[in-house]
Amino acid sequence: MADATLHKNLGGWMKHVGTIRIVVAKDFHRMGMGSILANELFLHALKSGLEKVVAEVMDAQPGAKRVFEKLGFKLEATFRGHVRDQIGVRHDLLILTKDLEEFWRTSRPTNTSPTRPAKWRADPGTENPGRHPEPGRS
């Protein structure tokens, strides 16, 4: 019916980057399943301390773009004629990304939230904020 994955690199220069992939079977399109799965994986990416998340979307799939735009992903790059659809026609591949470091930096302070990874928590009880100061703290 549907398959959704968050790919993480165990090491190397993209260890901080995750990639979300989602496929919903045609009979179940436009019932909200893609959005639910994307939300779940995005939350998982946030909790796991990733710093950036990527989604690769074919330009002929407006639903796919919409799913990620609703989560605040932005178009970062376009690879021209990079992918083929099921009947062999070439399409652009859109690289949508969301910077989670930026997300935490600009989100409201929630130091007690278990969702916020420790590296982005302000150090409670001291004047020293965490690696990324909360808005309003210097």
- Residue 34 main-chain phi, psi, to 5 deg: -60, -40
Judged by CB under 6 A, the residue of 17, 55, 100, 122 near ligand COA is: 55
- Pick between residue 17 and residue 55 the one whose CB is nearest to ligand COA: 55
| Contacts of range 108-111, beta carbons closer than 8 Å, 24 or more positions apart | 108/135, 109/134, 109/135, 109/136
Quick check: 93 and 56 in contact, CB under 8 A? yes
Residue 1: CB minimum distance to ligand COA, A: 10
Q: Is 21 in the site for ligand COA (CB under 6 A)?
A: yes
Judged by CB under 6 A, the residue of 9, 15, 31, 72 near ligand COA is: 31
For the CA atoms of 68, 1, 17, 103, the dihedral, rounded to the nearest 10 degrees, stands at 40
Q: Is 45 in the site for ligand COA (CB under 6 A)?
A: no
Only segment of 6-14, 23-31, 80-88, 100-108 that touches ligand COA (CB under 6 A): 23-31
Q: Is 54 in the site for ligand COA (CB under 6 A)?
A: no
Q: Is 18 in the site for ligand COA (CB under 6 A)?
A: no
Tell me how crowded residue 27 is: count the other CB atoms within 10 A of its CB: 7
Judged by CB under 6 A, the residue of 1, 12, 13, 30 near ligand COA is: 30
What is the C-alpha separation between 48 and 126, in angstroms, rounded?
25
Q: Is 61 in the site for ligand COA (CB under 6 A)?
A: yes
Q: Is 62 in the site for ligand COA (CB under 6 A)?
A: yes
The candidate with the shortest Cα–Cα distance to 19, out of 39, 45, 37, is: 45
Alpha helices in the chain (DSSP H): 33-47, 62-69, 100-106
Q: Which residues bind ligand COA (CB under 6 A)?
A: 21-24, 29-35, 55, 57-58, 61-64, 66-67
